[in-house]
Structures are given as structure tokens and as C-alpha cells.
């Protein structure tokens, strides 16, 4: 029999080499077809007496990233359709559906012939769970080998036997740490945890796997043998008595109870280790079904898995534009931001010209890149040769003529209209016809900057976030005259440097900064009301934000906040800002000399390391303080989430953001908006627009007019609409939930 996604070769020793190599895919992923073929291969190898064992490997440079986007989508659409007809029957059908992969893996584990997984490259999610169901596991020794069960990061958990097998192969604490954080393991770390048996050079991978079978590998999992004992002794031991009472408390400290899947992992392991293995699988299946039925899993998977993949693959790329081949990219401005942009560009294999006012400044910019490479090599993320290859692609210069053959030029100079005007004119004087000019401005509208350009159709904004090397989001900003080709080139570039783009129309602050400023502004309101600063920071974290608004403001820089407030007043008038906010920030900067982390003094004090930062005691003296017992933490949490979500809704109403996927992904990747909600608009949809409007109106009555729901929200509430329904990004062919 022939297979579309696999090839099988049986050698003279009777060992069948099953190679997973999906056509027209850069990475193997699980689809319904793959699972059907795998089941057929299992049946065929069991039936063939000549086959003594199976080695399962990948024909690609990496093993597998797990489930396919379409497979995840189909599971949710199936449940939604069935639930509309009969909720109870839908739950039962979903339970059986989620058990199919786990059931197949259990069949492999108990088929009577030894299977060995030969793992090269990334092996994540369902692929690692498949490997754990094999009787032997051999991993290649290389830094590109990563093993992980990262499902918790998208709102679910390892539901194909992962919680049961990992907890029976390694100690419970390590198992919980791995699964509740989704951490990646190196091959050596996985071996130390007993998740793989051997680590060998990549060239010897299949040979070593076959040798395991030749050496008499038993086709029986440890837990299926008589007398099996769980590593560490299981649940009823002195060590477990220390672990299990503390585990839920530690998890709550880390997640504030916002991630049901993480708690489900604890339940699966705790309950599963007390029963036979097959019963443990059923327990896992039950909890997995429960999690899939919840709104957290749906929202997180939609935004952090489906939408991110769709946007990363060019969902917003204009049709009919040829793919861009980048022969050279220019970066003008060799400060920290420009140097970082040059670094990520070179790291993607694109030659970069780094231009500044003089050679010394340009060389200093490349020096920043050299420090980045040095740090990456020191941490083992790059080899010395790889680091040198990146640096060799970066050419520092003061000569604008070096940009003449660039495909794309990115300006990253100081946020000053006159400075940017001079750069635009200097670049366009040498730039070839058809090349694209991009501004990395974070505050200045692109349309205004494009007025300095002789070819505004080729002018676009590409807004990076700091630190550029780590932040995965990039805003691509359209001016009023930006053409489709400029957008296509910008999106091709963002894809090449492996970041996720969102496309926004021009406005002051674009999308992310508008939302971030609302977040910080609400913390100003709370300070002025006398809410204790520590409660402000903790409420934000309990709401799901990764960084409190005061700490975030310190990172952004308080003196920059003052510049933004003053610029807003200058451009839009005094009524455009709250005078109390201006007074607060002015006092911090001009009277107290507190600029933020950069000068060691902001809302926090930053003592020399290793001492940790702490809130500045003087904050409590600025305004009369409320008693902590008089402050409702739940209301503080609502205020933070609602003010951001309202701003996201305004951008949709104004046509700044046109795709709800981008609003959600942008809010999570840009500033960490409570990922468990699925993003700012999913937060509204998940609550229901009618309920959100009611909450906003209550907050407006108690805390100010800035909480008033917009006309669009009121209209949607009356009609019973959702953002993903009204602004369906997939068109009529797909139902929006």
C-alpha cells in the first residue's frame, strides 16, 4: 500500500523504517489524513510477520510541530454545530473525538512489536506524545532539537496521553513544571528526565534507533509491566506530601487562576497516578473535553494559534503582488533601535547597510550588534560561526549612496519631524525606482511623514517594539497614499525576519500605543484616587497582565510619557489630556527627577543588582491613601481590562484596525493583554457585547466618562452581534464564532 504522507522501507533485519514526510509542507503536522494513514501503517506492520519492529522518523529537517491549524479549527466547529442541536450529545461526541489520537497511541504502545521514535529537530505537542507512546526514543544531539508539550500556552494541555506518560517517566515535580509552563527541553535535558533513552549525532540517529530493536527492546511500556513503580514513589510518599499541597498554590501565584488548562494538568497527574494507566487516560480525556468546551481554550487557540499562523502566513497581504526577494535592506539610524533592526534583518540572512551621520556613529551601531551576538553565543543560542555570519552581513557606513540598490530602507532615527524629513529626502535622493521606504516611528502619523516623500505610494510605517530581538509583534502602518506593493514588501520583510505583523491604518499612536496609553492612564487615575500603588500593580497582574502599569511606565520612560502628553496638548489642545495626569507626570519628572528605569528612579526604585526593584515609598505621599479594605480588587481588574478593550473597540469603529484577529493578536503580543481572554476584542466577545456594555456603563457612572461604551458597541449589543461576526475576517465561507 502507498501512503501520501509516509514511506515505509523494511530492511533485511525486518525493521520497518516509517518516514513521515508530508508533501508541500515545510513541517510535518497532524491532520485527519495523517492519523488515518498512521493507523493503517500500524495495522499493516502488525499483520506482516516479516516486520520485527518499527523505527518512526521524519524526512524533514525537523520532526513535527504538532497539530495542524485545520484540525484544531474543525474540532471547535464540530462542537459548536453539534452543541446548537443537542448540548449533551455534543459533549459525548466531543469526548469520543478527543480520545481518537490517544487511542491510536495506546494501540501503538500495545501492538506487540517494538516502536522506536528517531527524533530530529523540533518535536512538540502531539508529536512528542506519539514519541512517548513508542517503546524507545532516540534524539539527535543538536541545538535545533527541542522537545516540548506547549499546549498550555494556547489554552489546552497534552491530551493524547502526555499527562500520564510524562508523569510515569520522570518525577512529578519535573513533569508538572514541564507541562504547566510549556517549556522546551534540549535533547540532553530530556534524557536526564528519562523522556528519551539515547542522544546521538544526527548522522547516527536511524542506525541507533534500529540498534535498540536489534538489542531486544521489549515492546511493552514500563507501566504495563508487573511491579511498575512511579518515579519518586507516586502520590502517597513523604516527598509527594510536600509537593501536592503546595502545587496548586504555586500555580495560582503564577497564573492568578486565569488558566483552567494549567490546573487541569495538576488534576490529571494527581488523579491519574492513583489509578491504572488506561483509567488515567480516560481521566485525561475527560478533563481535555471539559477544557475544550470552555471559552478560554477557544479564545486562546483562535488568537494565539489560528490567527497568529494566518497573519504570519500573509492573511493581510494584497493579492496579485509578486513575492519580494530581499537582496539588501538599509537601516538609517544606528542607535539602539536601528542597530536592533539591523541585527534581526541580518539574522534572517539579509545583507544590511547600517547608515548614520558619520562613520563613528555607524560603527557604534554595529558594536551594539556585536554585543547582541556575544550574548547569544555565550548562552549557546548561536555558534561562533553563526554569530560571525550575522555580523558579516552588516555594513556600517555614513554614505547614503550605499542604499542605492536596497530593496527596502527602514528609517529609525530620533522621533522628530524635521530630523525624519531630512532623512527621507537624503534617502530618496539615492533610492532606486520601486524600492520601498519605511519609517519606524512609534508616535508620528505616517501620512504626515509621507508628505516629505516624492513617492508616497512607496512610503509605509514598520513599527518595531523594544527589545526588537525578543518582541514578536510588528505594526505595519498604512498612510493615506500607501500602495499595495509597499504593503506587500513590508509584510514579506516582516515574515522574513520571523515576526507577526498587524496592519493598521494611520492614526496618532497607531493601535498598540493607543491601548498601552489607556492602560497607564488608568493607573494614574487610581493613584490620584488614593488606591495603594501595590494594589494597582497586583490588580493588573491578577487580571492577567504580565507587567503592572507603573512598572511598564518605568520601562517606557516617564519623561517620554511627559513628552507625549505635552505633544498631545500642543497638537490637539488642553482638553485632549487629563490635567491631573499632566500634573502627576510633570511632578515626577521635573520636581522629583524620576524618569523611570533608565535613571534608576521612577514609580519604582532600582537599587544595584542583585537587589530587586521596589515601589517608590514617596508615591503614597502624593495623594491621600484609601484603606486597602475599602478597595475592591475585582473592580480594579475590570477597570484595566475594560479601558483597554474599549480603546480596541474604538480603533475598529474608526477603521484604524479592520480585522479582529489583528486587534487580538496585537494586544497580546504588543503589551501582553491578558492572554487567557484571547485578546482585547475576544474579551468583549467572550463576555458578550451586551454584558460588556452594561459593565462599561457602570464603570462610567462610578469612575468617569472615559468608560462610556462607543456607539458601535451599543449598536452591536442591541443586535446581539460579536466582533468576529460583524467583522468576519474569513468571509462568508467560514462561520465566525
Please indicate, yes or no, whether residues 134 and 233 belong to a single structural domain of this protein: yes
What mean pLDDT is reported for the chain? 93
Task: Give the residue from 510, 543, 570 where a domain finishes.
Answer: 510
Q: Which of 510, 544, 565 is the last residue of a domain?
A: 510
In a domain, 303, yes or no: no
Distances from the Cα of 586 to the Cα of 579, 616, 619, angstroms: 10, 16, 14
Q: What is the pLDDT of residues 224-243, one digit of tens each?
A: 999 899 998 888 888 888 89
Q: How many other CB atoms sit within 10 Å of the CB of residue 443?
A: 15
Residue 343 lies in a domain: yes
Are the beta carbons of 530 and 537 closer than 8 angstroms? no
Euclidean distance between CA atoms 110 and 106, whole angstroms: 6
The answer to whether 247 touches 176, Cβ cutoff 8 Å, is yes
Q: Which long-range contacts (CB under 8 A, 24 or more apart) does 578-587 make?
A: 578/521, 578/524, 578/525, 580/524, 580/528, 581/521, 581/524, 584/524, 584/527, 584/528, 584/622, 585/524, 585/558, 585/561, 586/562, 587/622
What is the H or E stretch that residue 636 is in?
Answer: helix 633-653
The larger pLDDT score, comparing residue 523 to residue 74, is at 523
What average pLDDT does range 190-197 have in this prediction? 96
Grid cell at residue 664: 487580538
Cβ atoms of 508 and 461 within 8 Å: the answer is no
- Domain with 614, as residue range(s), is 513-726
Name the E strands within 532-641: 604-605, 614-615
Where do we find the cell 534500529? 210
pLDDT digits (tens, 9 = 90+) for 456-510: 999 999 999 988 999 999 999 999 999 999 999 999 999 999 999 999 999 888 8
Instruction: Please give the tally of structural domains in the chain.
Output: 3
Residue 322 lies in a domain: no
Q: Which residues pair with 139 in a beta bridge?
A: 119, 199
For residue 446, give every residue at least 6 positions away whose Cβ sits within 8 Å of its Cβ, in sequence order, or none: 439, 459, 460, 461, 477, 478, 479, 482, 506
Comparing C-alpha atoms, which of 487, 425, 431 is closest to residue 461?
A: 487
Q: Which of 236, 266, 293 is the last residue of a domain?
A: 293
- pLDDT confidence of residue 735: 47
The answer to whether residue 169 sits within a structural domain is yes
Over residues 28-43, the mean pLDDT reads 95
Q: What DSSP element (H or E) covers 56? A: strand 53-58
Does 289 have pLDDT greater than 80? yes
Q: In the prediction, which pLDDT does 87 show? A: 87
> CA dist 404 to 314, 330, 419, 496, 696, Å?
28, 9, 21, 21, 53
Cβ neighbour number for residue 214 with a 10 Å cutoff:
12
Name the helix (H) or strand (E) containing 198: strand 198-200
Encode pLDDT of 251-280 as tens digits: 999 999 999 999 999 999 999 999 999 999
Alpha-carbon torsion angle 368, 371, 373, 379, nearest 10: -140
- Percent over 70 (pLDDT), the chain: 99
Pair 166, 179: CB distance under 8 Å: yes
Q: What is the domain-level CATH number for residue 388?
A: 3.40.50.720
Coil, strand, or helix at residue 147? strand
Annotated catalytic sites, by residue? 463
Q: Is the predicted pLDDT of residue 734 greater than 70, yes or no?
A: no
Q: Is the pLDDT of residue 281 over 60?
A: yes
Same domain, 502 and 534: no
Q: Would residue 1 count as lying in a domain?
A: no
The pLDDT score that the predictor gives to residue 299 is 94
Q: Rounded distance, CA 148 to CA 184, Å?
A: 5
Q: How many CB atoms lie within 10 A of CB 7?
A: 12
Residue 454: predicted pLDDT: 93
pLDDT digits (tens, 9 = 90+) for 516-549: 999 999 999 999 999 999 999 999 999 999 999 9
Residue 82 lies in a domain: yes
Answer yes or no: do 357 and 453 share one domain. yes
Q: Residue 732's pLDDT is what?
A: 56
Residue 254 and residue 347 in one domain: no
In this structure, are 411 and 554 located in the same domain? no
Whether residues 200 and 349 share a domain: the answer is: no
Residue 380: pLDDT over 70: yes
Residue 89 lies in a domain: yes
Residue 96 placed within a domain: yes
The three state secondary structure string of 488-550 is HHHHHHHHHCCCEEEEEECCCCCCHHHHHHHHHHHHHHHHHHCCCHHHHHHHHHHCCCCCCHH
Confidence of residue 550 (pLDDT cuts 50, 70, 90): very high
The verdict on 490 and 525 lying in the same domain is no
Q: Give the domain CATH number at 569.
A: 1.10.1040.50
Q: Are residues 522 and 504 in the same domain?
A: no
Give me the CATH number covering residue 204. 3.90.226.10
Residues 661-707: tens digit of each pLDDT: 999 999 999 999 999 999 999 999 999 999 999 999 999 999 999 99
Do 494 and 524 lie in a common domain? no
- Are both 253 and 345 inside the same structural domain? no
Residues 498 and 348: beta-carbon distance below 8 Å:
yes
Whether residue 406 sits in one domain with residue 341: yes
Same domain? For 271 and 247 the reply is: yes
Amino acid at each position: 500500500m502507498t501512503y501520501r504522507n509516509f514511506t515505509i522501507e523494511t530492511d533485511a533485519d525486518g525493521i520497518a523504517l516509517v518516514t513521515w514526510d508530508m508533501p508541500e509542507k515545510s513541517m510535518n503536522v497532524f491532520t485527519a489524513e495523517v492519523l488515518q494513514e498512521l493507523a493503517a501503517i500500524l495495522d499493516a506492520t502488525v499483520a506482516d510477520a516479516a516486520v520485527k519492529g518499527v523505527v518512526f522518523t521524519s524526512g524533514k529537517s525537523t520532526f513535527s510541530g504538532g497539530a495542524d491549524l485545520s484540525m484544531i479549527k474543525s474540532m471547535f466547529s464540530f462542537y459548536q454545530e453539534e452543541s446548537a442541536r443537542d448540548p449533551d450529545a455534543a459533549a459525548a461526541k466531543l469526548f469520543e473525538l478527543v480520545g481518537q489520537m490517544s487511542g491510536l497511541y495506546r494501540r501503538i504502545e500495545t501492538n506487540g512489536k517494538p516502536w522506536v521514535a528517531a527524533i530530529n529537530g523540533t518535536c512538540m505537542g502531539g508529536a512528542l506524545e506519539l514519541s512517548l507512546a513508542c517503546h524507545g526514543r532516540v534524539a539527535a544531539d543538536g541545538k535545533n532539537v527541542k522537545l516540548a508539550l506547549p499546549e498550555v500556552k494556547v489554552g489546552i494541555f497534552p491530551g493524547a496521553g502526555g499527562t500520564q506518560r510524562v508523569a510515569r517517566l520522570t518525577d512529578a515535580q519535573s513533569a508538572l513544571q514541564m507541562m504547566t509552563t510549556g517549556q522546551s527541553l534540549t535533547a540532553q535535558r530530556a534524557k536526564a528526565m528519562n523522556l528519551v533513552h539515547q542522544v546521538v549525532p544526527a548522522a547516527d540517529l536511524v542506525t541507533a534507533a534500529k540498534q535498540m530493536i536489534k538489542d531486544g527492546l521489549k515492546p511493552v511500556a514500563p507501566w504495563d509491566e508487573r511491579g511498575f513503580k512511579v518515579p519518586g514513589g507516586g502520590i502517597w510518599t513523604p516527598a509527594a506530601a510536600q509537593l501536592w499541597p503546595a502545587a496548586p498554590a504555586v500555580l495560582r501565584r503564577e497564573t492568578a487562576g486565569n488558566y483552567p488548562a494549567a490546573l487541569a494538568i495538576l488534576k490529571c497527574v494527581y488523579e491519574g497516578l492513583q489509578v491504572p494507566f488506561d483509567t488515567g487516560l480516560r481521566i485525561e480525556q475527560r478533563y481535555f473535553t471539559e477544557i475544550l468546551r470552555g471559552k478560554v481554550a477557544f479564545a486562546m487557540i483562535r488568537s494565539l494559534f489560528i490567527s497568529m499562523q494566518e497573519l504570519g502566513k500573509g492573511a493581510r497581504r494584497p493579492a496579485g503582488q509578486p513575492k519580494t526577494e530581499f537582496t539588501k535592506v538599509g537601516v538609517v539610524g544606528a542607535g539602539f533601535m536601528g542597530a536592533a533592526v539591523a541585527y534581526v534583518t541580518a539574522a534572517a540572512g539579509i545583507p544590511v547597510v547600517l547608515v548614520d551621520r558619520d562613520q563613528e556613529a555607524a560603527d557604534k551601531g554595529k558594536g551594539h550588534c556585536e554585543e547582541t551576538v556575544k550574548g547569544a553565543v555565550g548562552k549557546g543560542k548561536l555558534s561562533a560561526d553563526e554569530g560571525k555570519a550575522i555580523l558579516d552581513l552588516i555594513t556600517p557606513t555614513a554614505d547614503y549612496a550605499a542604499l542605492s540598490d536596497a530593496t527596502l530602507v527602514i528609517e529609525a532615527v530620533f522621533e522628530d519631524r524635521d530630523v525624519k524629513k531630512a532623512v527621507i529626502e537624503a534617502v530618496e535622493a539615492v533610492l532606486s525606482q520601486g524600492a520601498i521606504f519605511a519609517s519606524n516611528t512609534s508616535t508620528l502619523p505616517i501620512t504626515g511623514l509621507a508628505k516629505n516623500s516624492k513617492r508616497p505610494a512607496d512610503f509605509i510605517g514598520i513599527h518595531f517594539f523594544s527589545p526588537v530581538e525578543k518582541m514578536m509583534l510588528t505594526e505595519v502602518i498604512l498612510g493615506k497614499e500607501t500602495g499595495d506593493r509597499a504593503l506587500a514588501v513590508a509584510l514579506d520583510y516582516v515574515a522574513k525576519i520571523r515576526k507577526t505583523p498587524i496592519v493598521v491604518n494611520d492614526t496618532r499612536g497607531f493601535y498598540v500605543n493607543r491601548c498601552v496609553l489607556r492602560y497607564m492612564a488608568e493607573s494614574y487615575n487610581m493613584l490620584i484616587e488614593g488606591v495603594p500603588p501595590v494594589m494597582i500593580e497586583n490588580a493588573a497582574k491578577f487580571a492577567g497582565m504580565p507587567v503592572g502599569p507603573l512598572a511598564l511606565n518605568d520601562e517606557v520612560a516617564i519623561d517620554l510619557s511627559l513628552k507625549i502628553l505635552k505633544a498631545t496638548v500642543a497638537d490637539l489642545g488642553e482638553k485632549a489630556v487629563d490635567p491631573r495626569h499632566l500634573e502627576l507626570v510633570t511632578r515626577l519628572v521635573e520636581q522629583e527627577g524620576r524618569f523611570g528605569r533608565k535613571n534608576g528612579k521612577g514609580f519604582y526604585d532600582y537599587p544595584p543588582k542583585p537587589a530587586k526593584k521596589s515601589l517608590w515609598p514617596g508615591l503614597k505621599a502624593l495623594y491621600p491613601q484609601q484603606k486597602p479594605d475599602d478597595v475592591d480588587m475585582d473592580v480594579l481588574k475590570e477597570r484595566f481590562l475594560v479601558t483597554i478593550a474599549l480603546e480596541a473597540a474604538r480603533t475598529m469603529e474608526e477603521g484604524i484596525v479592520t480585522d479582529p484577529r489583528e486587534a487580538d493578536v496585537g494586544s497580546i503580543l504588543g503589551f501582553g493583554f491578558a492572554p487567557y481572554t484571547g485578546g482585547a476584542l475576544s474579551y468583549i466577545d467572550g463576555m458578550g457585547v451586551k454584558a460588556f456594555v452594561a459593565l462599561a456603563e457602570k464603570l462610567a457612572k462610578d469612575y468617569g466618562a472615559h468608560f462610556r461604551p462607543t456607539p458601535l458597541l451599543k449598536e452591536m449589543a442591541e443586535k446581539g452581534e460579536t466582533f468576529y461576526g460583524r467583522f468576519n475576517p474569513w468571509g462568508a465561507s467560514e462561520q465566525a464564532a
